[in-house]
Amino acid sequence: MTTTQQMIETYNRLKVYEKLEIKRRISGNYESSWVDVSTYLMLENAPVITQRLDFESYGYGEFKTGSASFMVDNTQGAWNPPGDNYSLFQAAQTRQYTRIKYSAGYKDENGDNIDEVAFEGLLNQKTLEYDYSNGTVTFSALPYQQIFSERTMEKDTLTASMTISDIVAVIMSDNTVLDYITYSAGDINPDTDITFDDATQFETKKYAEILDAVCKISNSVWYVDSSFTLIIKARAATATTTFPFVGGYTQDRAANIIDIEFFDDGWGKAITEIIYDDGENNYQRRANPAIIEAYGLNTINLEGKELTTESIINTQLDAIIDEWQTNRKRLIITTVYMPNVIGFFDRCTVDYRQKKKQLLNKNSLIFNNVDNNKTYWNDGYYYAAYKNRLFLLPDTYYLYYGFEHDIKEGITRHYLIQA
């Protein structure tokens, strides 16, 4: 069977179709098999599915919770609450946290259907909106990692002196979380496995808040991968084969870039100062004066009473500044719909150069430039200015920070930060 990547490289287009499946909770357990409810998807359904890391601010820190919204046919009451005779959920405990799986498949060169799961998560009953005039229901589904925002660290579950790995082990001992997220201690590899002075400060906080806090101070990142496993790691490139994005002047079947939607050279995203507040004292660390002169004073503020040892705080702040004190380019690249090809922190290259347009010179000489007493003239032809002056050459590596699938448009937006 042809793979997604082979289809993209060979044909540069995928013919997309949709499939929606659910698993309901009945008598306390989920159904063993997925139930296909694609027939209820409306033609107007246009899910935009996101899964990415922080990109807008410093590219440093938290996981951006993704989502997917759906419109379904409810003329017969199929999406009504449990207990309704016509409802899909008639015998279910609740609609809340019904498992949702959305596949945006395509046909290969033989016409065979190939399903690619674009989203799997939980129906959020609180978002249900009925349109009785048109007989439709719209709702949002949340990815499994949203469970970290729904659960709170209980009082008296942590001790004063604990590492990041210790704290995560407590979070992942929660059976409600384990219903959706897989955990292995070997996947918890922060850049520095800090020992906190008073980890009890994390008690009564949401799990997601705790993961954000420990990853920021340890110069790490947390996310849930495509196998629904919790990962904590430094932002280092994975060992997979580098994926090439190609476009611009090389418009042939090897090209996969439709457009560069966003470019930021990263000068305003460099971190040159950090101020840390432990509740009693403020600690300040800066890049060297030459860096600050070049990039300006870009300050971020961190706080937390769980860490109070000055030497540890200064070491961690210096590590963040060392990594983020210079600019890194940021890109949003639009391609054809491209599911499950690239993972978080996979290395990518971008080869994108606009082609100059050659124009007739109307039989006149055009004075072009004077440099070191050398005069340049164009006779017969000249080259007009580029429509787009953006040159991205393939000798720079970028790390993959996530995607946004726009199923209606049949495109994927890819978020990249220079390695």
How many whole angstroms from its chain centre is CA 353? 26
Handedness of CA 11, 239, 221, 269 (dihedral sign): negative
What average pLDDT does the segment 16-35 reach? 88
Least confident of 11-15, 235-239, 244-248, 301-305: 11-15
- 3-class DSSP assignment, residue 276: strand
Q: Are 74 and 87 in contact (CB under 8 A)?
A: no
- pLDDT 10s digits, 155-200: 999 999 999 999 999 999 999 999 999 999 999 999 999 999 999 9
CA 44 – CA 71 distance, rounded (Å): 7
Q: Are 405 and 337 in contact (CB under 8 A)?
A: yes
Question: At 374, phi and psi to the nearest 5?
Answer: -105, 125
The tokens describing 292, both together, are 């600050």
Architecture per CATH, domain 4-50+64-143, reads as: Roll (2.30)
pLDDT category, 242, cuts 50, 70, 90? very high
- pLDDT 10s digits, 30-40: 999 999 999 99
For residue 169, the surrounding DSSP H or E stretch is: helix 164-171
What average pLDDT does the segment 217-237 reach? 91
CATH 3.20.20.80 for domain 151-233:
no
- Per-chain mean pLDDT for the chain: 84
pLDDT category, 309, cuts 50, 70, 90? very high
The tokens describing 36, both together, are 């296909």
**For the chain, what are the domain ranges?**
4-50+64-143, 151-233, 243-266+329-418, 267-324
Identical fold between 4-50+64-143 and 151-233 = no
What average pLDDT does the segment 271-275 reach? 95
pTM: 0.81
What average pLDDT does the segment 203-211 reach? 96
Radius of gyration of the chain (CA): 26
Indicate if the pLDDT at residue 365 is higher than 50.
no
Residues in the chain: 419
The tokens describing 28, both together, are 């306390």
